[in-house]
Amino acid sequence: MGNTVVVGAQWGDEGKAKITDLLAIDADIIIRYQGGCNAGHTVVANNKTFKFHLIPSGILYKNKTCIISAGTVIYPEALKKEIAGLLAENINLDGLKIHPLASITMPWHIDIDGISEDKTAKTKIGTTKKGIGPTYSDKIGRYGIKVEDLYDKEALNSKLDNILPLKNKILKEVYGLKEYSKNDILNLCNEYAEIFRPYVFWNWQEALTTALQDNKKILFEGAQGVMLDIDWGTYPFVTSSNPIAGGAATGSGLGINAIKEAVGIMKAYVTRVGEGPFISELENDIGKKIQTIGAEFGVTTGRPRRCGWFDAVIAKYAVLVSGLTSIALTKADVFDTFDEIKICIAYKDKRNGKIYNHYPTNVYMHKYLEPIYESHKGWKEDISKCTKYDELPLNAKKYLTRLEELIGIKISIISVGPNREQTIILKNPMKI
């Protein structure tokens, strides 16, 4: 079977899209299982750079089914823009399917996300302002609108009658924002219905039942990362969905037995966009150097990404809470000119010297923790052209072996540059 889930094992932007695109060649179906257009996924293929937000990173191949599944939230305007951009590049979207149970980000979700972050928030999260938190809150609160509602006037009317008076009250009285008329929202929903219409996956039950019976290969693409997971991340500095591998089971509706391998994508260092604790962060010239060489700027918001040394404590944590079976290590090439490379192996409490070998989940005490580092000699060579493990310099091999020892699982893929070709595949999870 080899069905694989690609999971971000840090705070996002680990290179999930590059690995998804790479593995997608052996997949029949690629499923984005959570998140929304807060994601920014970069694929470099055929000398072109593609930036995906909602559409699965397997879309560049012909004859693959690419599903934006029920666990996602979709801002229709963002989807429209993304579709238009891909069509302008002559990318065939025949395989694109949007699940009727995916949730829709409505205009009030964007309003509320924007203003909560700017004005009302005491604890600023630094969200992407794409309405993610408010959309998922409404889904869980049972105030959500799903794709299928757009095609059922009765359902939509009944939901809006329930939702709008409350939303308008909140918009006006809590946030001092403008209200929405039901008529305007119904017109907007008609526009949304047209955006989705060619792609709605109405026959998902028949299609996926047959696909499973025929042993079609499925690749699940995560967005964000384990440390941004709503249940397992650095709460409340997280996103509002489940990027962990388990999220693929719920978000796709295919259950745990449809997934065999869980590949954790880890950068050779760590980055984070937005607020929240980051124990191995480097607020100095080394951090700046990583940011510059690694081009660490957000795909969705353009914000600079905070950078720090690889953190083996969170890597071990990601293995546990996501059931990772192997690692795809990306961006080791960023260290090509470094004399010294550090790995955070534990944390120390500055107040009492207590050592933490496992991740302490109370993020409010992270300010008292400092990283304990292990130092490694750099390889001082260009590894971006290596396509075989044996071509890597000895110090790079030593560093990779040490990472495996610390994390406790094997590296299956080493990425040494943004292009498809700049990859060393040690064991292809889709072929296990």
Instruction: Return the active site residues.
Output: 13, 41
* Partner that binds at residue 270, options ligand IMO, ligand GDP, Mg ion, none, CB closer than 5 to 8 Å by kind: none
Count of residues of this chain found to bind Mg ion when the rule CB under 5 A is applied: 3
Q: Residue 39 is encoded by which pair of tokens?
A: 């994601």
Q: Where does this chain touch ligand GDP (CB under 6 A) — which range of 73-81, 316-324, 326-334, 348-356?
A: 326-334
User: Would you say 78 or 369 has its CB closer to Mg ion?
Assistant: 78
Closest approach, Cβ 51 to Mg ion, in A, equals 9
Question: Residue written as tokens 């060489």?
Answer: 293
Quote the CA–CA distance of 250 and 253 in Å, as a whole number.
5
- For residue 412, the SS3 value is strand
CB of 72 to ligand IMO, least distance (A): 12
Stretch 9-68 residues interacting with Mg ion (CB under 5 A): 13, 40
CA angle (415, 93, 70) in 5-degree steps: 80
Min dist CB 413 to ligand GDP, Å, is 10
Among Mg ion, ligand IMO, ligand GDP, none, what binds residue 246 when CB lies within 5 to 8 Å by partner kind? none
Per DSSP, the residues of 350-363 read TTT--EESS----G
Q: Which is nearer to ligand IMO, 17 or 430 (CB)?
A: 17
State the nearest-atom distance from the C-beta of 195 to ligand GDP, in Å. Answer: 24
Residue 138 or 221 having the CB closest to ligand GDP: 221
Q: CA angle, corner 260, sides to 255 and 264, nearest 5?
A: 105
Of 21, 82, 311, 333, which lies in the binding site for ligand GDP, with binding defined by CB under 6 A?
A: 333
Angstrom distance (rounded) from CA 6 to CA 72: 16
Q: How far is the CB of 316 from ligand GDP (least distance, A)?
A: 20
d(CA 318, CA 9): 6
Q: Are 276 and 224 in contact (CB under 8 A)?
A: no
| Total interface residues for ligand IMO by CB under 6 A | 23
Instruction: Choose between 124 and 377: whose C-beta lies nearer to ligand IMO.
Output: 124
Q: Does 18 bind ligand IMO (CB under 6 A)?
A: no
User: Helix, strand, or coil here: 342?
Assistant: strand
Q: How far apart are CA 416 and CA 267, in angstroms?
A: 10
Q: Write the CB contacts of 267 (distance below 8 Å, at least 6 apart in sequence).
A: 10, 13, 14, 15, 294, 310, 329, 330, 331
Token pair for 58: 């397997």
Judged by CB under 6 A, the residue of 32, 41, 99, 316 near ligand IMO is: 41
Which residues contact residue 223 at a Cβ distance below 8 angstroms, ignoring those fewer than 6 apart? 8, 12, 16, 32, 34, 35, 36, 38, 39, 41, 241, 243
Q: How many residues bind ligand GDP (CB under 6 A)?
A: 21
* Region binding ligand GDP by CB under 6 A among candidate stretches 6-14, 210-218, 252-260, 350-358: 6-14
Residue among 3 and 239 whose Cβ is closer to ligand IMO: 239
Q: Which two tokens stand for residue 343?
A: 């790995």
**44 touches which of ligand IMO, Mg ion, ligand GDP, none (CB within 5 to 8 A by kind)?**
ligand GDP
Distance CA 394, CA 297 (A): 31
Residue 4 interacting partner from ligand IMO, Mg ion, ligand GDP, none (CB closer than 5 to 8 Å by kind)? none
User: Is residue 308 within the footprint of ligand IMO (CB under 6 A)?
Assistant: no
Report if residue 10 touches ligand IMO, rule: CB under 6 A.
no
The gap from C-alpha 290 to its chain's centroid, in whole angstroms, comes to: 21
242 is an interface residue for ligand IMO by CB under 6 A? no
Which residues have CB under 8 Å from 156's CB, separation 6+? 145, 149, 150, 186, 189
Q: Which of 1, 2, 28, 44 binds ligand GDP (CB under 6 A)?
A: 44
* Interface with ligand IMO, residue 30, by CB under 6 A: no
Look at residue 330 and give the partner it binds from ligand IMO, Mg ion, ligand GDP, none, a contact being a CB closer than 5 to 8 Å depending on partner kind.
ligand GDP
- Structure tokens of 428? 């292809």
Stretch in the footprint of ligand GDP (CB under 6 A) among 59-67, 180-188, 202-210, 413-421: 413-421
Amino acid identity of residue 420, one-letter, is R
CA distances from 172 to 141, 159, 176, 179, 428 (A): 20, 20, 4, 6, 54
Q: Say how far apart CA 329 and CA 417 lie, in whole Å.
A: 11
Q: Which residues bind ligand GDP (CB under 6 A)?
A: 8, 12-18, 40-42, 44, 299, 330-331, 333-334, 415-418
Q: Which residues bind Mg ion (CB under 5 A)?
A: 13, 40, 299
Q: Which residues bind ligand IMO (CB under 6 A)?
A: 8, 11-13, 38-41, 125-128, 130, 132-133, 223-225, 228, 239-240, 273-274
